[in-house]
Structure 1
Amino acid sequence: MLRIRHLVLAAIVATGVTACGESEPTSAPITRTTCDATAANGAVFTTRARPDLPFTLHLPQLRGWQVTPDDAADLVLRRTDRLAGRTGSATITLRVTEPRRADNRTSVFVAYEGPWRQWRSESVQVCGRGGTRSGGIHPASDAEGGDRYHEYLDFDCPAGELLYPIRMLVEATAADRDLYRPDIDSFIDGLQVVPTASAG
């Protein structure tokens, strides 16, 4: 079973709070995300509105992907393909977790435990905010099927005086990583944070 550890460490967190999608210039690497879910074809998948969130998340609506109900996540997309003598599948999960105050100077670092192979991690920008994109292959145990490919996109979205941690999780059969890679890149590059209109 895949285990994830959350480590809370003292760190300096930027205190300037702006609407997500707007930020002052930084020295981060070249932006890899466009923050425009409609760039490809105009149609989007959208997270359900939550009273505790001042925004919704949009992903480009790509062919073959279906929304899967899941009470533990804000949005789950799944694609299944019939391949030569077997079935391939991939899942995209979006979650927004408990916010923290932007001025509390703590950061949550996530450690992924297990015998990872081909692990890589890089800094990216999402809607002008710094984030991390990580991924690797987790070998199957005796009780599981084939090796699994996992990828994670983590970043914080500021809104008012709070920072909302956003995570996209990708899981696919490792043998099919190249098949799903274009769609995974499109989802990550096209993720968009859309402020919710205020009532009244």
Structure 2
Amino acid sequence: MRRTLLAALLTSCTLACTPTDLSTSNTPSCQAEVPSATTANSAGFTIHAPQPPGWSTQPVEGGGLVLHRFETIEGADPPFGTATVTVATFSPADTADAAANTLRILRPHESDWHRTRSEEVQICGNPAHLTSGTTTNAHHDYLEFAYPLGDKFYPVQITTQTPIANVPRYRSDLDMILSGVRISVQ
């Protein structure tokens, strides 16, 4: 009985979770779990980035998305808080390594960059890399991965930027956005 139940459960999950189009069979996809800002790629996938309360969104011409938080903080120095998250997809590459190389080239190489975190993570079962660090005035996170679709790999980069003084105020929102990125196939 247990085996029958387990087999039925596995079959239903496989049918519900497997893309019907064979050209996207290597494409990891999962639905957003929280209210999200989205940006659709013309290749046929959508990136969902959680949108915490108080954050505004703006599409980027040519594709992509910016989430932004700005608020006046009475009695604080500086008297305002700000944080920005940018979601961007770049021209596809023939291999995952070539897409990763594109992302390395696109990441700013500032002379005063100090890396504070570097780890491998997963987005919808797809390997991704998260790097965090600071420059003289700002904290940055770079969540990067090569999204496979058909026979191409799309370099995807989600970046955060906030003044160092504002990191404690926005860290939980930034972590929620970075850990909640999802992708769905259209």
Q: Which residue of 1 aligns with 2:178?
A: 188
- CA–CA separation in structure 2 for the residues paired with 1:19 and 1:179: 36
User: Is 1:64 aligned to residue 38 of structure 2?
Assistant: no
Aligned AA (1:185):
D
> Does the residue aligned with 2:53 lie in a helix, a strand or coil?
coil
- CA–CA separation in structure 1 for the residues paired with 2:176 and 2:156: 17
8 Å contact from structure 1 (residues 73, 93) kept in 2: no
Q: Which residue of 2 aligns with 1:6?
A: none
* Distance change (3 Å), C-alpha of 1:89 and 1:168: same
> Does the residue aligned with 2:46 lie in a helix, a strand or coil?
strand
* Distance change (3 Å), C-alpha of 1:193 and 1:174: same
User: Is 1:153 aligned to residue 140 of structure 2?
Assistant: no
1:78-135: CA deviation from partner (whole Å, max 9, x where unpaired): 00122234111000000000111138x6440616332123532111111111111111
> Does the residue aligned with 1:113 lie in a helix, a strand or coil?
coil
8 Å contact from structure 2 (residues 114, 134) kept in 1: yes
Structure with the higher fraction of residues in strand conformation: 1
Q: State the shift of 1:69 in Å.
A: 4.3
Aligned counterpart for 2:26 among listed residues 18, 29, 46: 18
8 Å contact from structure 2 (residues 88, 157) kept in 1: yes
Aligned counterpart for 1:45 among listed residues 37, 51, 62: 37
Q: State the shift of 1:177 in Å.
A: 0.7
Aligned AA (1:44):
S
> Does the residue aligned with 1:187 lie in a helix, a strand or coil?
helix
1:137-193: CA deviation from partner (whole Å, max 9, x where unpaired): 110xxxxxxx11111000111010011111001000111112111111111111111
Aligned AA (2:167):
R
Q: Which stretches of structure 1, 4 residues or longer, exceed 3 Å deviation after superposition?
A: none
- CA–CA separation in structure 1 for the residues paired with 2:142 and 2:90: 14
Q: Which residue of 1 aligns with 2:21?
A: none
Q: How many residues align?
A: 154
User: Is 1:75 aligned to residue 76 of structure 2?
Assistant: no
Q: Which residue of 2 aligns with 1:127?
A: 124
- CA–CA separation in structure 2 for the residues paired with 1:59 and 1:75: 9
Aligned AA (1:95):
A
> Does the residue aligned with 2:70 lie in a helix, a strand or coil?
strand
Of the two structures, which has the highest relative contact order with CA contacts closer than 8 Å and spacing of 6 or more? 1
Structure 1, unmatched stretches of 5+, are 1-16, 22-34, 140-146
User: Is 1:91 aligned to residue 80 of structure 2?
Assistant: no
Structure 1 residues 100-111: aligned runs within 5 Å: 100-102=93-95, 106=98, 107-108=100-101, 110=104
User: Is 1:136 aligned to residue 133 of structure 2?
Assistant: yes
User: Is 1:169 aligned to residue 177 of structure 2?
Assistant: no
- CA–CA separation in structure 2 for the residues paired with 1:116 and 1:180: 20
* Distance change (3 Å), C-alpha of 1:118 and 1:19: closer
Structure 1 residues 3-14: aligned runs within 5 Å: none
Structure 2, unmatched stretches of 5+, are 1-24
Find the structure with the greater CA-based Rg: 2
8 Å contact from structure 2 (residues 92, 152) kept in 1: yes
Q: State the shift of 1:67 in Å.
A: 0.9
CA RMSD, 1 decimal: 2.1
- CA–CA separation in structure 1 for the residues paired with 2:142 and 2:173: 14
